[in-house]
Amino acid sequence: YYLSDVLYILDFTCTLISVSRILKQTGCVAIFTNTLCVLQDRFTRTRIGTGEERDGVYYFTGVSAARVHRTDSTKTSKSELWHRRLGHPSFRILSALPVLDNLCFDSE
């Protein structure tokens, strides 16, 4: 995942992100509690980062840019996308759906 069209301020000692922008640009999900914020991939549910609340601001630590970039660079096939959208039914079930009959469903 990466953000585009960002504002860089040289004098800032931390990085501020817009929750709205990161959710729109990456398709991630943000889960907020009174003490934590968790960013995770919407489809794989892989945790991307966790922030702790201090004085009304959530501070993120340990976000691996390499792991995030690798996740963003993978391509998902149409059959895999439908498999995820429909709640992970077996590929045998998916191949039986008439609407999806022109897609190749492979269990690998």
Tell me the pTM.
Answer: 0.49
Question: Are 62 and 37 members of one domain?
Answer: yes
Q: How many domains does the chain have?
A: 2
pLDDT at 25: 81
Collapsing DSSP to helix, strand or coil, 20 comes out as helix
Question: Are 90 and 44 members of one domain?
Answer: no
Q: Are 100 and 94 in contact (CB under 8 A)?
A: yes
Q: Are 43 and 74 in contact (CB under 8 A)?
A: no
Question: Are 44 and 33 members of one domain?
Answer: yes
- How many angstroms separate the CA atoms of 25 and 28, rounded? 8
- Residue 22 token pair: 């990161």
Give the structural domain span for 107: 75-108
- How many angstroms separate the CA atoms of 86 and 48, rounded? 23
Residues of the chain with pLDDT under 70: 1-3, 6, 62-79, 82-83, 91, 94-95, 97-108
